[in-house]
């Protein structure tokens, strides 16, 4: 079985693992701050993914939100970038509205992207240059729409910083309306379905965006950082994703914001 | 058939009407501003509700988002307060994540509340002092949680005003995280399920909140304006709803914000 088909089966199996595991008790801890939660289910699901991938493809490497691949510093060979539960706060507080996200790269080039909405049993998937799908249905190509006629998604609490708020608030004000769903992977999934036109984050990790970036890239959506630069596979960055028109509209707001640029580049060690 | 059971059947029939109607072409217009949309489906669904209620109960009065009952100035007798599509932007852009909302009052006292998530076919309903239900399942009583451990919902674009942003941003910063779903009725539904702990709006109409207020009130959630006052059945107001603990936490942020109070009372003609 090739990597893509193996990945699709694997992510659904991992989703079944989460669904079963969450009905039993699990511990909730905090990581970098009291609102950055991790549960036993996050850790066990990452371990499940790690074990299955290693068993099938011993020479592949895995980078995960919960600690696997921390020491990886190059992108040679096959790398799986996995988020076992994207939207852990939703997982804990809502019991739904979270997803498993996987991006696979070969020598730093995208190979396939997978997002699985466990509770809805919706699998979003794409193999590079072969289109993107929701389950068995091909997803439609991005339509150009300006910011003024669009719903955009962002996390309003994360942009309250002095350095970020001016540009982000101006973008919010210029949009039709703002949504916030608490899972970057599911916001990429909504972008892929055309339900939102753009998503904006001041800081994400590769496991938050690689799956979604590959899937939406197949549909013509653009994803860059606030400078318009490509996203890295290692490290953190800002993420601006949307149809080509809104993506340009949004980058325009950042262009002359030196305060934001300085903060951003320092924040992400650029 | 009593009003409650009639209402439950009616709202599901109206949901079926929306589901069928939305598959055909419909016109989208703007109302108060280019982002305040209304569609033929909103108007036709309100007309459907109006006609059915009038046929069954000729002496009842109806107040609707799309114009019915505009001239009603008292709350005598039976009044149905209806929103045919709460979350019109989601209806237009997403084809889901909207709801029909109904609150029924007798001589100004709550009688029953109904919210129907058409696309999920989920009916939230409550008869005053008889508990609240999601379909046939009783919903659980509110649990007290402080703001610091809670997900809260608000519309970030609506609180960017000079007069509102300080208090609202401080509340957002003090929360665990912020969500925004674009439908007050569905946010009340999520509150009723315990998926969010509070919702905050600087301006809503009675058709946005009466159904949700009655349903969540049955579960022990508190709903007031920013002053802590009861909500009116006629006119507009701010809406703060949540479990008793978080409701108090949030009101505390507004207490000494004279700028907000002045803006608010002027905005709502209080």
Phi, psi dihedrals of residue A263, rounded to the nearest 5°: -60, -50
The CATH number of the domain covering residues in B147-267: 3.40.190.80
The mean pLDDT value for B206-217 works out to 98
Which pLDDT score is estimated for A188?
A: 98
pLDDT at A182 > cutoff 90:
yes
Could you say which residues from 145 to 164 on chain A have a Cβ atom under 8 Å away from some Cβ of chain B? 148, 151, 154-157, 160
pLDDT at B199 > cutoff 90:
yes
Instruction: Please tell me if residue B140 touches chain A, with a CB cutoff of 8 Å.
Output: no
Judge whether B84 and B42 are in contact, CB under 8 Å. yes
Instruction: Give the CA dihedral B38, B39, B41, B47, nearest 10 degrees.
Output: 50
Which pLDDT score is estimated for A1?
A: 74
pLDDT at A66 > cutoff 90:
no
Q: What is the pLDDT of residues B135-166, one digit of tens each?
A: 999 999 999 999 999 999 999 998 899 999 99
Domain ranges of chain B: 3-138, 147-267
Residue from A180, A184, A186, A195 to probe the interface with B (highest B Cβ count within 10 Å): A180
Q: What is the pLDDT of residues B26-36, one digit of tens each?
A: 999 998 899 99
DSSP strands (E only) in B99-179: 99-106, 109-117, 122-127, 132-134, 137-138, 151-154, 177-179
What is the distance in angstroms between the Cα of B9 and the nearest Cα belonging to chain A?
Answer: 27
Residue A148: closest C-alpha in chain B: B35
Compute the mean pLDDT over every residue in chain A, rounded to the nearest whole number. 96
Judge whether B164 and B202 are in contact, CB under 8 Å. yes
The mean pLDDT value for A194-202 works out to 98
Of B176, B179, B190, Cβ closest to residue A35: B176
Which pLDDT score is estimated for A163?
A: 93
The CATH number of the domain covering residues in B3-138: 3.30.540.10
DSSP state letters, B173-190: HHSSEEEB-S-HHHHHHH
Judge whether A115 and A124 are in contact, CB under 8 Å. yes
Q: What angle do CA A178, A181, A183 make, to 5 degrees?
A: 130
Phi, psi dihedrals of residue A138, rounded to the nearest 5°: -65, 140
Q: What angle do CA A139, A141, A143 make, to 5 degrees?
A: 130
Residue B193: C-alpha distances to residues A62, B117, B190 (Å): 37, 13, 5
pLDDT at B1 > cutoff 80:
no
The mean pLDDT value for B16-29 works out to 95
- Which chain A residues touch B179 with a CB distance below 8 Å? 180-182
Residue A88: closest C-alpha in chain B: B177
Exposure of B33 by Cβ count < 10 A (0-12 exposed, 13-18 middle, 19+ buried)?
A: exposed
Instruction: Please tell me if residue A174 touches chain B, with a CB cutoff of 8 Å.
Output: no
Do the Cβ atoms of B156 and A176 come within 8 Å? Answer: no
| DSSP character at residue A66 | T
Phi, psi dihedrals of residue B74, rounded to the nearest 5°: -135, 170
What is the distance in angstroms between the Cα of B55 and the nearest Cα belonging to chain A?
Answer: 38
Rounded distance between C-alpha atoms, residue B226 and residue B228, angstroms: 5
Closest CA to B191 of B229, B151, B158: B151
Q: What is the pLDDT of residues A91-120, one digit of tens each?
A: 999 999 999 999 999 999 999 999 999 999
Which pLDDT score is estimated for B184?
A: 98
Q: How confident is the model at residue B91 (pLDDT cuts 50, 70, 90)?
A: very high
The mean pLDDT value for A51-60 works out to 98
Rounded distance between C-alpha atoms, residue A150 and residue A241, angstroms: 13
The ipTM value here is: 0.96
Could you say which residues from 204 to 263 on chain B have a Cβ atom under 8 Å away from some Cβ of chain A? none
Strand bridging mode A109-117 / A99-106: antiparallel
Judge whether A61 and A79 are in contact, CB under 8 Å. yes
Compute the mean pLDDT over every residue in chain B, rounded to the nearest whole number. 96
Of B150, B172, B182, Cβ closest to residue A179: B182
Which pLDDT score is estimated for A186?
A: 98
Phi, psi dihedrals of residue A13, rounded to the nearest 5°: -60, -40
Q: How confident is the model at residue B270 (pLDDT cuts 50, 70, 90)?
A: confident
Instruction: Please tell me if residue A103 touches chain B, with a CB cutoff of 8 Å.
Output: no
Instruction: Please tell me if residue A57 touches chain B, with a CB cutoff of 8 Å.
Output: no
The mean pLDDT value for A239-256 works out to 97
pLDDT at B66 > cutoff 90:
no
Judge whether A268 and A231 are in contact, CB under 8 Å. no
What is the distance in angstroms between the Cα of A203 and the nearest Cα belonging to chain B?
Answer: 15
Report helix angle B244-254 to B162-174, nearest 10. Answer: 140
- Which chain A residues touch B175 with a CB distance below 8 Å? 157
Rounded distance between C-alpha atoms, residue B84 and residue B66, angstroms: 8
Rounded distance between C-alpha atoms, residue B243 and residue A238, angstroms: 35
Strand bridging mode A132-134 / A28-30: unpaired
| 3-class state of residue B240 by DSSP | strand
């Amino acid at each position: 079985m090739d990597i893509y088909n193996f990945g699709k089966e694997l992510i659904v199996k991992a989703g079944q693992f989460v669904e079963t595991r969450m009905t039993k008790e699990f511990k909730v801890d905090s990581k970098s701050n009291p609102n950055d939660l991790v549960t036993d289910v996050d850790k066990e699901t990452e371990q499940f993914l790690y074990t299955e991938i290693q068993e099938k493809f011993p020479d592949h490497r895995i980078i995960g939100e919960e600690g696997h691949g921390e020491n990886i510093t190059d992108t040679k060979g096959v790398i799986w970038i996995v988020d076992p539960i994207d939207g852990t706060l939703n997982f804990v507080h809502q019991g739904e509205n979270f997803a498993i996200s996987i991006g696979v790269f070969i020598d730093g080039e995208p190979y396939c992207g997978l997002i699985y909405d466990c509770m809805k049993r919706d699998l979003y998937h794409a193999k590079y240059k072969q289109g993107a799908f929701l389950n068995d249905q091909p997803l439609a190509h991005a339509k150009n729409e300006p910011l003024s006629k669009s719903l955009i998604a962002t996390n309003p609490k994360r942009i309250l910083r002095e350095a970020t708020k001016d540009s982000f608030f101006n973008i919010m004000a210029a949009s039709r309306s703002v949504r916030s769903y608490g899972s970057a992977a599911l916001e990429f999934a909504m972008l892929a379905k055309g339900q939102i036109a753009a998503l904006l984050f001041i800081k994400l990790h590769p496991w938050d965006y690689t799956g979604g970036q590959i899937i939406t890239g197949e549909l013509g959506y653009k994803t860059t950082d606030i400078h318009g630069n490509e996203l890295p596979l290692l490290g953190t960055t800002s993420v601006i994703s949307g149809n080509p028109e809104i993506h340009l509209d949004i980058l325009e707001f950042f262009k002359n914001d030196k305060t934001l640029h300085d903060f951003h580049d320092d924040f992400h060690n650029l």
